[in-house]
Amino acid sequence: MPELDDRQAGDQTDPFAHLKQRASERADRTVDRIRAAIAALKAGGQKITAESLKQVTRDLEPGFAGLSFQVIRRNPRAYALYREAADAFTSPRVAEDQRPAKRRRRQSRRAPRSSYDPLQRFDKRELVHRIRALEQELNTEQERRAALAYDQQALRAKILRLETEVILLGAELTHPN
What is the mean predicted confidence (pLDDT) over 31-56?
91
pLDDT at 10: 47
* 159, 163, 166, 168: CA torsion to nearest 10: -130
Query: Is 18:7 a contact under the CB 8 Å cutoff?
Result: yes
Which of the two residues, 151 and 111, has the higher pLDDT score?
151
Range in 90-104, 119-133, 143-157 the model is least confident about: 90-104
Query: Is 2:45 a contact under the CB 8 Å cutoff?
Result: no
pLDDT band (50, 70, 90) for residue 120: confident
d(CA 15, CA 159): 91
Residues 6+ apart with CB under 8 A from 14: 20
pLDDT at 1: 45
Q: Provide the whole-model pTM.
A: 0.45
Length of the chain (residues): 177
Q: What is the rounded radius of gyration, in angstroms, for the C-alpha atoms of the chain?
A: 40
- Quote the longest CA-to-CA distance of the chain: 132
Query: Is 27:73 a contact under the CB 8 Å cutoff?
Result: no
The backbone torsions φ and ψ at residue 12, rounded to the nearest 5 degrees and listed phi first, read -70, -30
For the stretch 69-107, pLDDT in tens is 999 999 999 999 999 888 777 766 555 566 666 666 665
d(CA 34, CA 57): 7
Tell me the CA distances in angstroms from 36 to 10, 56, 57, one per residue in order.
Answer: 34, 9, 8
The backbone torsions φ and ψ at residue 123, rounded to the nearest 5 degrees and listed phi first, read -85, 175
pLDDT at 68 over 60: yes
